[in-house]
Amino acid sequence: MEYDAIVIGAGNGGLVSALTLQKQGKNVLLLESNNVPGGVATSFYRGRFEFEASLHEMCQFGGDTRSGDVRELFKRLGILDKVEVKELDETFHVITLDTNEEYEMPVGIDNFIKKMEEYVPNSTKSMEDFFELCDECKRAMNYLNESKGNPDKEVLKTSYPNFMVVASHSLQTVLEALKMPKKAQAILTTYWVYLGSPAPYISFVHYAIMLYSYVVNKPVISLNRSHELSLALFEEFTRLNGTSKFLTEVKEIIVDKGAVKGVVTSDNHIYKSNIVIANVSPNLVYGRLIPQAKVPKKARQLTNARILGARGVCVYLGLNKSPEELGLKNYSYFIYHTLDSKKEFERMTHLKSDNLVGVVLNNANPNCSPKGTTILYLTSLYFSKVFSDIATKDNYFELKEAIAENLIATFEQATKTNIFEAIEEIEVATPLTFARYTNHPDGVIYGYLAKKSDNLLPRIMNMFNENYIKGLYFVGGFGPRLSGYSSTYLSGEMAALQALKEMGDESEN
């Protein structure tokens, strides 16, 4: 069977690529190794709780009046009315364990600046500058996207001068340059774990766009869990006669004379296509799916140059008390030992790290579980292969339980609540779980570490030069827009548009 395009993996990026192409009248084959679409954008049941597997909150969504990029994408794809979302009225609540600090930040630029002034007197000026700069960065990025790799230097210089100045710098450098008081910098940086890279590493532009979207567009959750988002994309793809195969693994990508020609699945079927969009890691593609002799030197060098990003443990808790009974008021709790992101990043290379983000789903979605109960999930990241180093088949169950116990105890201590006595259901996902379901190297969940030349801008600026094999594209967290729901969705459309262009070029020849 010959297809216009084959998509490997029905994660966020793969689903959007598949639907975008199918919607353009292309004949797409979508292959997925699990039995549901979405990858980790899904949900699962334990007892009377339907747990969200991965979504904390989406950025770049917004509502009618502040429609964000992802919402616009969903509109283009015809699925906006198929998903029920809710905007949140808080950004983050951060608690420090070592210094006993606690900050709660609202949505809306004015509110945010005002609240920051309360916490850090004389921060207003730098905060105003910061949000102005965010706005310019956001517009500049839109311009870069529209220019499809060929921005006009004059336009950049005249319309986005400040963007040009900060574009190559880290979050920390720019906040310093804005003369933002240290404490305000520290509070502002709270979201760093969402991008899996601390303030000295993460690109200012990348962080600024995310924070700006949360503050302006508001954070958004999917009321029927992220599974509904994945399913909406998949159902629309199917309605347009897209072909999908579940429980089907790809064992080889066929490459001939530097171009993809199709794939071989584990049941030894051959599917032909000149376009393959990989919603899996380049490590898997260049390390296993394509015979080494056919992997170009540059592709090997690029893959070898990159650093794997965050691994994670997620503890899913179904509690038999309501959030009020437990004393949990907020939706998200960022719990760190200190607000120094670099220091905490180092701490999180060790397994005993108990920095975590806790989400109380009911506080955004009151009907997500039966009356008088709470869904709480705690996520902790690791920035090293420490879990792999320690886990064995003999200690795995114990290790999982010990880590979960440690995280729950930390959450209790930070929020002054009693969680253990209310646990009715508990499930723990580890790097092994993510490796099992996604096949990502070492079970990473955030793709590659966003650092130096592997930050957002260099990735986007070079993405057109890095198609080392003709017809092969990468989407998802390992792709050019890095990880996170909004980024992976948008990466899917970007690749599909590139592929469309390639197909168009071919028909012209």
Partner 1 sequence: MKVKIKISNIKAIDMLKFKKLGEEREKAIETSYTDKVVYSYPINELAKVLHPKSMKVMVTNIIKETNDTKTIVFKRLNNEPFPPFRAGQYVVLDAKIKGVSYKRSYSISSSPKNLDQISITVRAVRDGIVSNYLVKELTLNTDMVLEGPFGTFTYNSLRDKKQILALVGGSGITPIMSLARAIYDKVENCDLTILYGEKTYADILFKDELDKICRECENVRVKYILSDEKSSIYDTGYISKEQISEYELGSYSYFVCGPVHFYHHLDKIFQELDIPNKYIRHDIYKECEVGLHHNKYTLTVLTDNKEIDIPCYEDEPILKALENASIKAPSKCLVGVCGFCRSKLIKGKVKTDYTYVRGSDINNDYLHPCVSYPLSDVTIKLCK
Q: Is 179 exposed, middle or buried (0-12, 13-18, 19+ CB in 10 A)?
A: exposed
CA distance 496 to 473: 9
Do β-strands 49-52 and 43-46 pair in parallel, antiparallel, or remain unpaired?
A: antiparallel
Q: Which of 23, 300, 337, 343 binds partner 1 (CB under 8 A)?
A: 300
Q: In the stretch 199-228, what mask flags binding to partner 1 with x, by CB under 8 A?
A: -------------------------xx-xx
479: closest CA among 465, 490, 468?
A: 490
Q: In the stretch 345-384, what mask flags binding to partner 1 with x, by CB under 8 A?
A: ----------------------------------------
Closest to partner 1 by CB, 354 vs 442, is 442
Q: Are 341 and 198 in contact (CB under 8 A)?
A: yes
Q: Which of 59, 209, 295, 359 binds partner 1 (CB under 8 A)?
A: 295
Q: Which of 325, 424, 470, 502 binds partner 1 (CB under 8 A)?
A: 424
Closest to partner 1 by CB, 4 vs 136, is 136
CA distance 99 to 501: 54
Q: Interface with partner 1 includes 422 (CB under 8 A)?
A: yes
CA distance 37 to 77: 17
Q: Bridge partners of 426?
A: 317
Residues 40, 43, 44, 48: is their CA dihedral positive or negative? positive
CB of 355 to partner 1, least distance (A): 20
Candidates 180-188, 207-215, 297-305, 355-363; binding stretch for partner 1 (CB under 8 A): 297-305
Token duo for residue 53: 């597997």
CB of 228 to partner 1, least distance (A): 4
> b or e along 219-248 (b: 16 or more beta carbons within 10 Å of the residue's beta carbon)?
bbbbebbbbbbbbbbbebbbebebbbbeeb
Q: Kindly state the helix (H) or strand (E) to which residue 195 belongs, with its residue range.
A: helix 192-195
83: closest CA among 216, 240, 242, 225?
A: 225
Candidates 15-23, 41-49, 270-278, 472-480; binding stretch for partner 1 (CB under 8 A): 41-49
Residues 138-167 that bind partner 1 (CB under 8 A): 156-157, 162, 164-167
DSSP code at position 444: -
CA distance 118 to 120: 6
477: helix, strand or coil: coil
Q: Interface with partner 1 includes 86 (CB under 8 A)?
A: no
Q: Interface with partner 1 includes 413 (CB under 8 A)?
A: no
Q: Interface with partner 1 includes 304 (CB under 8 A)?
A: yes
Q: Interface with partner 1 includes 320 (CB under 8 A)?
A: yes
CA distance 246 to 252: 17
Q: Interface with partner 1 includes 287 (CB under 8 A)?
A: yes
> Which residues does 410 contact at the CB level (< 8 Å), separation at least 6?
97, 335, 354, 356
CB of 214 to partner 1, least distance (A): 21
CA distance 274 to 29: 12
Candidates 115-123, 271-279, 290-298, 329-337; binding stretch for partner 1 (CB under 8 A): 290-298
Closest to partner 1 by CB, 37 vs 344, is 37
Residues 445-464 that bind partner 1 (CB under 8 A): 452-454, 457-459, 461-462
Candidates 250-258, 325-333, 337-345, 437-445; binding stretch for partner 1 (CB under 8 A): 437-445
Candidates 87-95, 101-109, 351-359, 427-435; binding stretch for partner 1 (CB under 8 A): 427-435
Closest to partner 1 by CB, 258 vs 504, is 258
CB of 375 to partner 1, least distance (A): 13
Residues 177-196 that bind partner 1 (CB under 8 A): 177-178
Candidates 2-10, 253-261, 289-297, 331-339; binding stretch for partner 1 (CB under 8 A): 289-297
Beta strands in 240-338 (DSSP E): 243-245, 250-256, 259-265, 270-272, 276-278, 311-319, 332-336
Closest to partner 1 by CB, 37 vs 219, is 37
Q: How many CB atoms lie within 10 A of CB 362?
A: 21
Q: Interface with partner 1 includes 401 (CB under 8 A)?
A: yes
Q: Which of 87, 117, 129, 502 binds partner 1 (CB under 8 A)?
A: 129
